[in-house]
Amino acid sequence: MSQSGHYQGRTRISKQGNTRIRGCLYMPALSAVRSNEPIRNLHLRICERNPHTKMKGIIAAMRKLLVLIFVLWKKDEPYDPNHVWQA
C-alpha cells in the first residue's frame, strides 16, 4: 500500500519481469485454477484474504506453475499429477 497525503494507492505487479513469460503463463494459470486442485486451493486461500483481489491469486498460480516447470526441467522428471505438493 502506497500513501501520499490522504491518497492511499495500491501497489501493483512489478513491470521488471519478462512480459513474454508473464503473458505465456496467464492462460495456463487460469486453466490450472479451474482444473488443478492444489493450485485452486492456493488461489482460493489468497482470494479469501481479500475477495476484491482475484488477480493476486492468478499471479500466485502463475508463479507456482513457473516454479513447477523449472523444477521438473532441472530434475529432468515427467509431471506426476499424484505427487503431493506443498502449498
Give the domain extent around 67. 13-74
The answer to whether position 83 is within a domain reads no
The answer to whether position 61 is within a domain reads yes
Cell 483481489 found at: 53
For a pLDDT cut of 70, what percent of the chain falls above it?
83
Cell 476484491 found at: 52
pTM of the entire predicted model: 0.76
Considering only CA atoms, give the Rg of the chain: 15
The answer to whether position 29 is within a domain reads yes
Distances (CA, A) of 71 to 16, 20, 22, 62: 23, 20, 18, 14
Mean pLDDT of the chain: 85
Q: How many domains does the chain have?
A: 1
Q: Is residue 14 over pLDDT 80?
A: no
Q: Which amino acid is at 3?
A: Q
The answer to whether position 87 is within a domain reads no
Q: What is the pLDDT of residues 38-80, one digit of tens each?
A: 899 999 999 998 878 888 999 999 999 999 999 999 999 998 8
